Amino acid sequence: MKLSTWCLLAAALFLGAAGLSDCVRAEKDTAPSLSEIMRKLNGGTNSMTRNLELDLKDDDPDWEAIQESSAEYVKLVDGLQKGTPRKGDKASWERLTKNYAANARALDAAARKKDRKAAALVVTRIKNSCNACHDVHRPKDD
């Protein structure tokens, strides 16, 4: 191949990669759906809530990891507050997500203080509040 063909090929690959990175960046900037947030927070044995619960049972918890998780937890719950449920009224959603956000902030504050007992109590409170919201706002197909 000639040098000019190589240059054109390299330029095309570079522009294609640049375009792809813009698509990936735009995808990351898109807010996750309510279902995606809930799955990340509470979806099964590898959810953030479950992992925090297990981490807080350790005799010597990894506070740095717990603090990172609790900070992300707050951000995700804040994302729920910005969403609109597919079922139930807006006033109920606002009240329930406000309570969830308060619990998330309490969890983060306990983690920052390295207060295992307080953090574990908040995780339990969060876990015990699921049905109050799901009964009103969770569609049957979720």
C-alpha pair distances (Å), 126 with each of 24, 33, 41, 47, 123? 33, 20, 11, 13, 5
Give the model's confidence band at 30: pLDDT under 50 very low, under 70 low, under 90 confident, else very high: confident
Structure confidence at residue 140 (pLDDT): 84
d(CA 137, CA 41): 16
- Residue pair 49/127 in contact (Cβ under 8 Å)? The answer is yes
Percent of the chain residues past pLDDT 90, beyond the cut? 71
Q: At residue 14, does pLDDT exceed 50? A: yes
**pLDDT, tens only, 46-100:** 999 999 999 999 999 999 999 999 999 999 999 999 999 889 999 999 999 999 9
**Could you tell me the pTM of the whole model?**
0.77
- Residue pair 78/71 in contact (Cβ under 8 Å)? The answer is no
